[in-house]
Structure 1
Amino acid sequence: MTATSRGATESSVIASFHLIRYARADAMRYMAFDRPVLRRTGGLPFWRLLGTGRGRSMSLGADLRRWALFAVWDGERALEEFLARSPVAGRWRDEAEESWHVRLAPLGSRGRWGGRDPFASAVPAAKPAGGPVAVLTRASIRPRRLAAFYRSVPGVDLDLRRQDGCLASIGVGEWPLARQATFSLWEDDAAIARFAYRGDAHRTVIDRVRGEDWYSEELFARFVPYGSEGTWDGRDPLRPGGAE
């Protein structure tokens, strides 16, 4: 994984996203095995192991062969040490059918995840003009709002598929149904704005989220993605010609 930083320094807080596809559906066991290892990992103040949905968005169906890790690191060195020495990263190399990894320099965030602000100590990166942006959205959905939330997913998914500026996206989650997130890559800030403010379905959902109090907790974060390695559904969406 190339460590060329776009606005991040070796000592600054960075994040990473890792998408791993295994050959067998029983890879679910790693969700249990990896937790104690990650808890003991130095320089890793925040992490979440995540299941993934099928396709590009949140859905009621899970892909039992594909799993993700979102992590926040105390600088590049901590991530490098994990990738070089952790048995978790070693298994990714040895057993994964496909994997994709990206480093993320935080641009800004709002909200909390599990009662915490994962980026409280992060200094916002200096974003170059133009260029790709990664977005993480995460929410804990109130039980009484689950039906309304999942009824809204197909319309937002259609909006997303119509956006030429979306390079890739995936629905991920900690718990089935109620704790959901989306990780997405965009050509630039303008592409994000087009989706957020011009997609009818997405605007409607945002209005209902606020008006009907769908979430008990939420987080929105933007990053400069850099140092990507591997493939996501057969390609690296951050490389020229790699968009879906």
Structure 2
Amino acid sequence: MPLTTLSVLTLRPGNGRWGLAQMGTAQRPLQRVPGLRFHKLLGSGADSYQFMPNLNRYGFMAVWESEEAAATFFATHPVWQEYRNRTQEIWTARLAPMQAHGLWDGSNPFAYPTDGVLPAEGPVAVLTRASIRWQKTPRFWRYVAPSLAAANKAPGVQASIGLGELPVVRQATFSIWESVQAMQTFAYRNELHKEVIRLTRQEKWYGEELFARFRVLSTEGTWDGLNPAAVR
């Protein structure tokens, strides 16, 4: 059975330049990893969601052919071992996609069979990803930044982060909620978020977008000193 993972990596001081270089140099060895069917190295924004980059924090999202392929990579691969040597924190979530629609580089990497039912209890994760049209970026950041800041403080959110492949125009958000109910309350009742959704459709901000919800199978490590959504 395929497996999705999301890792948040916080580098040790003095490794920012190395981390930025890895966004390019790590791509080729990652493309050759057995059982890795999709991957993205992602930068993060300063203060969680600002469009200025945080050179000390990165994300790694991956879809694996199997849990065994993932375990082998995290335990032995030289690229990951170098990250481990240069980080002060690594947090990794094992995820099962429950709903996913849209495209990421022309395909939906999370469109593999699951039970398709959101859990009644326990944490859930949400990923949004978009390629923003250049001419729409001022409007996007004007309205989206306050909405994302509100999500970061919403009742029931356990952790959230802004990630991206390119600054400003290729952006993603990842958040973990204590329950489906907490996530849906924000999504459907927060006025800032509802206005962003309306403007997104009306003004066609995105050239490509993807939205996915996941069941959190397990988490390990720390993110800002804690393990958000720790489950067994």
Shorter-chain-normalised TM-score: which range? over 0.9
Tell me, yes or no, if the aligned pair for 1:143 and 1:178 is still in contact at 8 Å: yes
The answer to whether 1:39 aligns with 2:28 is no
Paired residue type of 2:198: D
Which range moved further: 35-44 or 127-136?
127-136
Which secondary structure state, in structure 2, belongs to the residue aligned with residue 68 of structure 1?
strand
Q: 1:91 to 1:140 in 2, by over 3 A?
A: same
Which secondary structure state, in structure 2, belongs to the residue aligned with residue 135 of structure 1?
strand
Q: TM-score, normalised by structure 1?
A: 0.89
1: CA distance, partners of 2:186 / 2:160 = 13
2: CA distance, partners of 1:146 / 1:178 = 7
Partner of residue 11, structure 2: 22
**Match for 2:135 among 140, 144, 159?**
144
Tell me, yes or no, if the aligned pair for 2:100 and 2:111 is still in contact at 8 Å: no
Paired residue type of 2:38: F
Which secondary structure state, in structure 1, belongs to the residue aligned with residue 70 of structure 2?
helix
Q: Alignment RMSD, CA only?
A: 1.5
Give per-residue Cα distances to partners, 1:18-53, cap 9 Å, x unaligned: 111112221211212211111000111111110001
Tell me, yes or no, if the aligned pair for 1:159 and 1:195 is still in contact at 8 Å: no
Percent identical among aligned pairs is 41
1: CA distance, partners of 2:161 / 2:32 = 28
Partner of residue 97, structure 2: 106
Q: TM-score, normalised by structure 2?
A: 0.93
Using the TM superposition, give the Cα deviation of residue 128 of structure 1 relative to its aligned residue in structure 2, in angstroms.
4.0
The total of aligned residue pairs comes to: 228
Which secondary structure state, in structure 2, belongs to the residue aligned with residue 15 of structure 1?
strand
Using the TM superposition, give the Cα deviation of residue 101 of structure 1 relative to its aligned residue in structure 2, in angstroms.
0.8
2: CA distance, partners of 1:56 / 1:166 = 14
Q: 1:93 to 1:162 in 2, by over 3 A?
A: closer
Specify every segment of 5 or more residues in structure 1 that has no aligned partner in the other structure, as ranges. 1-11
Which secondary structure state, in structure 2, belongs to the residue aligned with residue 182 of structure 1?
strand
Which secondary structure state, in structure 1, belongs to the residue aligned with residue 223 of structure 2?
coil
2: CA distance, partners of 1:196 / 1:120 = 22
**Match for 1:180 among 171, 178, 196?**
171
Using the TM superposition, give the Cα deviation of residue 127 of structure 1 relative to its aligned residue in structure 2, in angstroms.
4.8
The answer to whether 1:49 aligns with 2:20 is no
